[in-house]
Amino acid sequence: TQLLEQSPQFLSIQEGENLTVYCNSSSVFSSLQWYRQEPGEGPVLLVTVVTGGEVKKLKRLTFQFGDARKDSSLHITAAQPGDTGLYLCATGDNYGQNFVFGPGTRLSVLP
């Protein structure tokens, strides 16, 4: 089973600041997904990245997939209180089994 690491574990910033969170593995990802979880709810998919070097943008969120497909980053520009939540990266093996999540980055954006 692939193990995922995420950093930082916690992040507290002021509204309007920029931030980047990271997801890493010692193994190559077949594909990688980023989810956001708000309190009392299940995670919701933000993006799926598949190709090494891929960059995807979702409004103020920019996702990068490392060239070697062993790491990924999520950059948020001008963070807002609505961005507060637990950001999780996730991946599965070639058959979708053991679809595992990283420990997450807990983001708090203060107004």
Partner 1 sequence: GAGVSQSPSNKVTEKGKDVELRCDPISGHTALYWYRQRLGQGLEFLIYFQGNSAPDKSGLPSDRFSAERTGESVSTLTIQRTQQEDSAVYLCASSPYSHRGSTGELFFGEGSRLTVL
- Which residues contact partner 1 (rule: CB under 8 A)? 1, 30-31, 33, 35, 40-45, 48, 50, 86, 88, 90-92, 94-104, 106
Minimal distance, residue 5 CB to partner 1, in Å: 11
Of the two residues 45 and 55, which places its CB atom closer to partner 1 in the complex?
45
Q: Alpha-carbon distance 15 to 94, whole Å?
A: 39
Of the two residues 6 and 66, which places its CB atom closer to partner 1 in the complex?
6
Name the DSSP class of 34: E
Q: Is the CB of residue 4 less than 8 Å from the CB of residue 89?
A: yes
Which residue type is seen at 109?
A: V
Of the two residues 20 and 31, which places its CB atom closer to partner 1 in the complex?
31
What b-and-e string marks burial along 58-70, b requiring 16 or more CB atoms within 10 Å of the CB? eeebbbbbbeebb
Of the two residues 56 and 106, which places its CB atom closer to partner 1 in the complex?
106
Minimal distance, residue 64 CB to partner 1, in Å: 19
Q: Alpha-carbon distance 76 to 97, whole Å?
A: 30
Minimal distance, residue 104 CB to partner 1, in Å: 5
